Amino acid sequence: MKALLPIFCRPMGYIILLLAVFLPFILAMFGKVTDHNLLFYKECSKLLMMAGALMILLALTKNENLETEKIRIKAMRNAVFLTLIFIFGGMLYHIAQKDITYVDSTSFLIFLIMNILTLEYGFKKATMDKMFKK
């Protein structure tokens, strides 16, 4: 999988993720989040997290090569597998609790976060392998 975005999008994606996580809490401290607009802020945070995660996944790395593309593909495969396990486990938990009102609306966001975690792990593992093979 080839990268589609320039290099600077990777750190910017992490900044957007941090902003999406902490901004709702800061706004709540200043009294901007109320019962009437809570859903709006929740959905905006999800969209910001998705945008930041996609920026991280699709950005070029400093030494982009064929190995980096292979790591991206492997991270995508592992993320699909881990996301399915996570969502299936959550479904089983809610079935065991007999919670019929549960609706999962964060599956894509979970997939993106799992993808970033497996991608970063792959990059760090490749770096360590290069260090110890010399």
Q: What is the spatial distance between Cα 25 and Cα 66, in angstroms, rounded to a whole number?
A: 41
Domain assignment of residue 1, yes or no: no
Q: What are phi and psi of 59, to 5 degrees?
A: -85, 150
Q: Give the pLDDT confidence score for residue 63 in this predicted structure.
A: 80
pLDDT band at 121 (very low <50, low <70, confident <90, very high): very high
- Give the chain's domain count: 1
pLDDT tens column, 85-94: 988 888 888 8
Smallest CA-to-CA distance from 71 within 132, 120, 13 is with: 120
Range of the domain at 129: 9-133
Q: What is the spatial distance between Cα 23 and Cα 39, in angstroms, rounded to a whole number?
A: 14
Domain assignment of residue 2, yes or no: no
CB-based contacts of 29-32 (< 8 A; 24+ apart in sequence) = none
Q: Give the pLDDT confidence score for residue 81 in this predicted structure.
A: 87
Domain assignment of residue 97, yes or no: yes
Percentage of the chain beyond pLDDT 90 is 31
pTM over 0.85: no
Asked if the model's pLDDT at residue 104 lies above 80, the reply is no
Domain assignment of residue 67, yes or no: yes
pLDDT tens column, 14-27: 999 999 999 999 99
Domain assignment of residue 80, yes or no: yes
Domain assignment of residue 3, yes or no: no
